[in-house]
Amino acid sequence: MAVILSIDLGNTRLKWWLEGPDWNDHGSIPNQALESGLRGLPWGMIEWIRVASVRDPSATMAISVYIDSLSSPSCHIDTVEIQDFPAALSLPDTDRSQIGVDRYLAMLGATATHASCVVIDAGTAVTIDIVDGCVHRGGYIVPGLQVAWQALVTQTDRIHASTDRLYDAKLGPGFVTQACVDHGVRLALVTLCEAIISKHAGAADHATLVTGGDGAWLIAHLPDGARYAPDLVKRGMDRYFSLRS
């Protein structure tokens, strides 16, 4: 078995998984520290690199060139390409050029075990996609907790708050400005997710899977039965390359 490095290049951080006969590790690197963070990986042992990116083409190319400079000459580098999306997940009404690779991979990973599901990826942006019988039926994109909080604080002169308690559990009304902001941002996201789950995942054969950096916080506020799947994009990447081979 080859030593495989899988990379998910997101808006705020790079997530990586390393697999092989003597390797089973994963981690993440903030985008502002990619060069130093990537140097610490065991490049001499890596035989296959798989990259999925939601960054703009110039940033993706820059990272790809850097990865190529670190890897051995015999190492093979593959990228997830929108035009190569496999038929296992149908996109009849979805513009492929307008759907993020991470959204597609999360759905592809979810449908390996659940043909009908709501897939929530709670990251810098929160994407919510509805899949019915392995057919994409549309979705939603809203600001993540940090982005929503920053938008409110930076665009409102008299609101000054700290993110220290942004990930607390409270959703009820606040009595000081910071609490009102924090609780409101949390409640808005939770209420939206609950409404979509109630409408689209009510049947017994419909699952709700949650992934992304804020997924562990969000899952605690969602209805029983919603499952936290932190490696959902990685699962989708595994399936993508398996179906493409």
Catalytic pick among 68, 95, 102, 214: 102
Q: Domain range holding 138?
A: 82-244
Same domain, 164 and 75: no
Q: Are residues 170 and 222 in the same domain?
A: yes
- With CA atoms as reference, report the closest residue to 123 among 97, 147, 156: 147
In a shared domain, residues 186 and 221: yes
Strands annotated E in 169-217: 206-211
- The per-residue pLDDT for 162 is 58
Would you state the pLDDT for residue 156? 65
pLDDT tens, residue by residue, 48-81: 999 999 998 899 999 999 999 999 999 999 999 8
Percentage of the chain with pLDDT > 90?
64
211 in the same domain as 105: yes
CATH code at position 17: 3.30.420.40
For the chain, which residues score pLDDT lower than 50? none
Q: Given phi > 0 = left and psi -120 to 50 = alpha, else beta, which region is 137?
A: alpha
Report the distance separating Cα 143 and Cα 104, nearest Å.
Answer: 18
User: Which of 59, 79, 99 lies at the terminal end of a domain, its last residue?
Assistant: 79
Considering 79, 100, 128, which residue would you say is the last residue of a domain?
79
Among 72, 83, 104, 77, smallest CA distance to 7 is for 77
CB 70 within 8 A of CB 28: no
Q: What are phi and psi of 176, to 5 degrees?
A: -130, 165
Same-domain check for residues 97 and 116: yes
pTM here? 0.90
Q: Evaluate the CA torsion angle 134, 98, 210, 60 in order and state its sign.
A: positive
Alpha-carbon distances, residue 52 vs 60, 71, 101 (angstroms)? 9, 17, 7
Active site residue 102: yes
According to DSSP, the residues that pair with 127 across neighbouring strands are: 121, 141
* Whole-number pLDDT of residue 160: 57
